[in-house]
Structure 1
Amino acid sequence: MFCVQIAKWYVKVGDEIAAGTVLADIETDKATLAFENQEDGFIAAIVKGEGSKDVPVGETVAVIVEEEADVAAFASYSGGDAAAAEPAPAAAPGAAPAAAEAAPAAAAAAAPAAAGSFPEHIVSTAEVLVIQGSTATTLSERLMHMSQLSLLNTTPLVLLLLLLLCLYLQALQMPALSPTMEQGNIVSWQVKEGDEIAPGTVLAEIETDKATLAFENQDEGFVAKILAPAGSKDIKVGQVVAIIVENEADIPAFASYSPGGAAAAPAAAAPAAAGEAAPAAAAPKVQANFRLGPAARVALEQAGLTVDDIAAPTGPNGIITKADVLAAVAAGVKRGSAAAAAAPPAAADKAAAAPAAAQAAAKPAAAKPAAAPAAAASSPAAGETYTDTPNTQVRKVIAKRLLESKLTAPSLYVTADVRLDKLEALRASLKAGGAKLSVNDFVVRAAALALRDVPAANASWDGAGGAAVQQPSVDVCVAVATEGGLITPIVKGADGKALSQISAEVKELAGKARSNKLQPHEFMGGTFTISNLGMYGLSNFSAIINPPQAAILAVGGAQKRVGFGPGASGALASESYMTVTLSADHRVFDGELATRLLDAFTKYMENPVSMVV
């Protein structure tokens, strides 16, 4: 596909737009697809109106400015090509050479040639689009992940796009297998390069923040390249992990493919070249424009870099693009490295420079001693030995979410002692009849019935809305310890299930959890959590609330105590007690509600027959 047609514009001149705004419908040779905006700004000019046909890929179709006041300056703008074709005004003799020099470039690059007449702006170009099954994505966005190229205003890149279209590839990205997943580990690949695959084929086992899940394929094709081998860790959601092609004959074309390989090679050679050219004058650094789009800003934050670390921004008028940040990361650029590299020339000119310039040049060097104590504190003392234990995805998420809970949820704690003599007698009776039930099964059932009786406690906290949300279903989570960390599978509708059902379901879910076979619907959600450490001999403990839930019950082990029986003349006897502690979010619970819930739980546990009938 070389050309597109503008089917419809959804914005008009003067409209404010944001990243993700659908600008127009673009008709390609495959389908009519949405053309989404990537930057914040205002529509200053629409160069190609609705119905425009045969618009070449890369040609300017609209102009976007950052400031609303600049819109009026583009009232007579006719596009980069038109501007370049007009004769240069007599008063500006230097404009003609600039226009002539810009002529061979892509149409999108021609707009800056006329920048002297217009405020700073961004041209929006027609993009090449490709269909993947039922999903349409821009190939430029895919290349941003794979080749770290994002601009469509250069002829070589257009040729690369057309080449990739001929191969019809699909960039397989790390999927988000749970709502909270931000990154994952590839445990194993179930396919190899060259394999033919179909919809439903399990491609890989992915360790998420909750469990190890199967990554299923959605399209027919062939595995051309696996970019992230088995064992790869901390792969961001959306990062390309494999390439799939439609035709088997296209597989050899990707034999040496690596994401960003072409861009990374010169960057890798840069340190050696810099060492050889040290005596020579440093190449001038392109001044970065501090105006950033959302994509570039997020990329900088995630990479831990600043605008000063991007040595050669490629965006119009020196604007840093997301591709510039990705290229810097691939080249191994570290925070402050660009400033440090610039420090020696600045120090050499210190004597001749103005005092203000000398003071500015000394700032990067002055920052190093301040950082030294922190670096020394994080390093082990000489002679000490230690072992690094990598965190699993589950433990990373546990750490993040429970820290969030401790920092944001004002917790209150209510403790009660529960007599277990009647419950143990009932268990013994049921066991004699062939029904083996654990104390934990009764705990789950009692908690579910208590939540049914006190519905205000079966609630969660909505941080966005700033309100408690009462849940319609009593779904009880049971904490299960696994090698990878704690996970909480859910007994859904627990108040409507018999003890035998709860027992069987908890055993099945716990087995799946320990073997990393839980499906997302088996551990996502829940309205209340039970954490039982009684089997480890603990008498009592307090648990941390699992947001957005509003409460968790910590269950201790059974202990014998000597006490007097009921009534005024109660005999001295040994009784079995269990201590439970309810941790509750004070934004949802107050002391009275927490006490009512715990009282209802205690009554069911001390009268276990009521849970059977």
Structure 2
Amino acid sequence: MPAMSPTMDEGGVVAWHVKEGDEFASGDLLLEVETDKATIAVEAQDDGIMAKILKNDGATNVKVGAPIAILAEPGDNIADLDLAKLEADAAAQSNAAPAPKAEEAAPAPKPAPAPSESAPAPSSSGLFTGGKPNPSQVFFPSVELLLNENGVSREDALANITATGPNGRVLKGDVLAYLGKISKDANTNIASFIDTKSHLDLSNIQLREAQPAAAGEGAAPVEEEAKAAAEAAKAKPKREPLTLRHQFVISSTIPKKALAALVAKASAKAEQYAYGAHTYSPSDLVDPIFEDLIAPSRDAKRFSVKYLINETSTSTKDTDDIFDYEPYEIEDAKSAPGDLLTTVDLDVVVNEKVVDGQVRAEKFVKKFGYYLDKIDAKYASKEA
């Protein structure tokens, strides 16, 4: 009976898919074997002939290693084979007493020094058998629950349970083995199998010798390639930051100092509004608390503001012609101020690294324009 898993001791024959005398090729399905965990299909490893079936369909409790069939080589004449003798030899092999275990046959070894609390120890057979639990570990929830359900205290677990996990960790299988719900041998065999597959052998790794560049190939040294890459990156034009530009017109006449103070105040209030305003529309599907939790920090700079107050003459004449006035209007014309156009040119540079930078910058521009309109309207009413 072939071994299908590290913990398999015996199994059963579910069904044969070839009959005595049938020829089969490598990869053909021979039979189905039942283990303690699953039913597994067994395929032929080489070409051959089914000479004799020793364990028929439905056979159970077949020990691992016991013969279940006699196979012949391709081209063999089954009639020339002494199947009776082969069957008798197979039966003798199947009924032979199992070999004594290594720990039973060997004399009792001298007491060895106690292993480290965190380091598991191998058995005399070379299998991983676990070690003393690490007293500072925090149990997995599954281990904690299992211990509580069975009335095992933490002190008893650390004192009596064999740990097969890394660094002396107690696993769920260790607790089940301690409680007698699974075989201790099965638990240590599984731990041994995992332990043997968890190490990567790097002993045969060798450094590859540097290959000299062939003459005439024109291969550039590494330093030159790095320099060329750096120059290419430097030559690549940088992307200009996103800038919102807008020009606001002030139609009323406002003293310069007063206008400068009012525009500065409007900018401060608009920025305060933009940082505090919601960036989403009210909805039953939106949770304001959740939106505030996932939003970037309020201290993050979303945008920077620059503005310039300009006064431009709207007169279409370069100089006033004195002959265009009546004699009594000359003095009034000389003292009259020219027509001026006052504008506020605004540049808002967006910090695109913050996800809501552009949205809040747009809110600032809109609110800033609203405040300038109020200032303009207020002074226009005074002039009226």
TM-score normalised by L of structure 2: 0.27
> Which has more radius of gyration?
2
Task: Report the structure, 1 or 2, having the larger strand content.
Answer: 1
Structure-1-length-normalised TM-score:
0.18
Higher RCO, Cα 8 Å, sep 6+: 2
